[in-house]
Amino acid sequence: MENVLQKIVADKKIELEALKQARPLQSFIDTLTPSEKSLYQALSQPQAGYIFECKKASPSKGLIRAHFDLDEILAAYTPYASAISVLTDKKYFQGSYDYLRYVTDRVSQPVLNKDFFIDPYQVYLARYYNADAILLMLSVLDDQQYKELASLAERYRLDVLTEVSNEEEAARANRLGAKIIGINNRNLRDLSTDLSATGRLAPLLNKDALIISESGIYTHQDVLQLAPFADGFLVGSALMAQQDLSQAVKNLVFGQIKICGITTAEYAAVVRASGACYAGLIFAEKSPRAITAEQAKAIVSQVPFNYVGVFVNEQPEKVAELADALNLSAVQLHGQEDSDYIQTLRKLLPEDCELWKAQGVSDSLPPLNMAEVDRHLLDCQVRDQFGGTGTSFNWALLNEIKDKSRLVLAGGLSAENIKEAAATGAAILDVNSGVESAPGRKDADKITELFKQLRDY
């Protein structure tokens, strides 16, 4: 133990002395009762679980979430969390035991007290504030210290998340019989992160232990990369830094999904309530899902969400006018719009409106060389038509693209193939006819099944 970690532990001892003075153990030990919620059970479900963290600051990033509203945070977390983690370290994470009490009073999930545990007093205090689990870090504790704290935790039925960060600690976790083992992808000695730590250490751990991947998890692609090695993920900083926390949680759990061809406010409401991050409004007259500007305004006013407008060879002025009136998140161009058109449109669009260009794919990838666009959408081309064909192109072609962070994949996506589509690494998946009972009629059951498949990892 050295550097950053050594300093944190030294400061923790000072903090603990003050806590003991303010709230002596004898003043509350007789009030403690065992936990009735099991972190182990919550994480033992068939799907990988999420421990979402309430974290205001960190040593590596400083202040992460200035507006730290626990009601807002819990509203975003609880629909998808197996458990909630609360930081109580004051100096380095701006945590608080008051936060812990607030959360444990309001959620049905087990709550993990995350701190630098070095003293039995902290275990008692965690249970006093109704925590259901604690974090024990093998980078901080020797075997004897670990056994003492783990034994005390067991007395109050507190599960222990045992954290390891290297091969030596992994071997110790095995010897100590740890049931839930967190692999920290962050090196706490220099604060660097390396996601490959999970894949490197997981095979070394006891087969009957639950494995949680911690730190450095920012995207759904990170989750898919780690899923073969882990039973769950602990995520804090990546979410806490996002302004739209609810959407950030959905993007992490499901990936970025657009459901296109919305024709009514009722369908828009179904899409918004799902895991989707975008809903598409089509203004191409020949489409069976086309709507008018008036219909679009009614949908947007009744169901505020992130909308993408789809246009085919429309006048730039009209596209920009609708983008502004509807507060579109993006405009998607599905015609023969060239660089000159796009440059003209870009100047007219609201600054925060992205510009996506759709291109058809038949036997090979088209050139993706329009620097002016924010995203390239690839759809299956059948003769002269691309978009709305309900068919897919050969996704193996996408292996030619190294950076897929600006790529939108469309064409024939449904619950049957959405997992394969997600595995391509495309940043956004665009679904339309695959969640319909008829053109323009979205099917809530098919949408539910789509996201059920996306969550199966």
Q: Which two tokens stand for residue 423?
A: 């595995």
Cα distance between residue 171 and residue 177, in whole Å: 10
Q: How many CB atoms lie within 10 A of CB 74?
A: 19
Yes or no: say if 165 and 31 are a contact pair by the CB < 8 Å rule: no
Q: In Å, what is the CA distance from 103 to each residue of 77, 84, 98, 425, 453?
A: 11, 8, 9, 35, 30
Determine how β-strand 385-386 pairs with β-strand 375-382. antiparallel
Yes or no: say if 49 and 232 are a contact pair by the CB < 8 Å rule: yes
DSSP E strands: which ranges in 16-106? Answer: 49-54, 57-58, 62-63, 83-87
Cα distance between residue 330 and residue 346, in whole Å: 11
Q: In Å, what is the CA distance from 185 to each residue of 65, 80, 233, 320?
A: 22, 22, 11, 44
Burial 84-95 (b: 16+ CB within 10 A, else e): bbbbbbbebbbb
Determine how β-strand 436-438 pairs with β-strand 441-442. antiparallel
Let me know if 277 is a catalytic residue: no
Closest alpha carbon to 231 in 68, 47, 367 = 47
Cα distance between residue 76 and residue 70, in whole Å: 10
* Phi and psi torsions of 52, nearest 5°: -95, 140
Yes or no: say if 47 and 453 are a contact pair by the CB < 8 Å rule: no
Closest alpha carbon to 411 in 436, 424, 425, 394 = 394
**Which amino acid would we find at residue 93?**
F
Closest alpha carbon to 128 in 108, 148, 101 = 101
Looking at the DSSP bridge assignments, the partners of residue 234 are 51, 214
Tell me which of 119, 222, 379, 430 is the catalytic residue. 379
Residue length, the chain? 457
Tell me which of 260, 277, 353, 380 is the catalytic residue. 260
Let me know if 379 is a catalytic residue: yes
Cα distance between residue 187 and residue 170, in whole Å: 14
Cα distance between residue 424 and residue 75, in whole Å: 31
Give the residue numbers marked as catalytic.
260, 379
